[in-house]
Amino acid sequence: MDLWLAPHDIRVRSINRISHGFASTPFGDCVAIGTPTHLLALHFTENHRQTLVGLQSVWFRAKFHPSPAVAKLIHLALTQPEKIPVLAIGTPFQLTIWEFLRSIPRGSTMTYGAVAKAISRPRATRAVGQAVGKNDLSIVIPCHRIVSQGKLTGYRWGLERKRQLLASELINRNLLT
């Protein structure tokens, strides 16, 4: 079960222990953090330690400890991201966008404008783009599936990685369903 919470929710403030893990993937190295029941963040990284320090600065009240189980979730994210329970923390608008992104089928893309229309906010294309860019759960909340009209633009972890993720999903779409 996924949780979609605002930052001031008491359940967010009460997280005091976070597990972390590292893994290499065909798309680059990743760092993930989570609670015993939910994934909090999954980031592509060039520097594990630096990324972990950045995540610790966001979750400064929590104690971090390594966990092989969290590292295994990174590999599950590549094949079955919908099976990973997430704890997404953001504004109500961001949560709406991220929840919608989870419904986009593997191997498919949508434009920012199409997402805005789909959530009944047709004039919110730029806000959709900003929400997509704030996603902390790479692959699991598939922000890489959002494109501009006719071209790939903007991806927090680089356009080449976005291109690789989309190509892989397209090739494997029928094998993974």
Active-site residue list: 143
24 beta partners: 29
Residue from 171, 172, 142 nearest 155 by CA: 142
| Contact in structure between 44 and 138 (CB atoms under 8 Å) | yes
Q: Which helix (H) or strand (E) holds 110?
A: strand 110-111
Complete DSSP assignment for 16-52:
-EEEEEEEEETTEEEEEEE-SS-EEEEEE-S-HHHHH
Gap between the Cα atoms of 97 and 119, Å rounded:
8
Gap between the Cα atoms of 177 and 172, Å rounded:
9
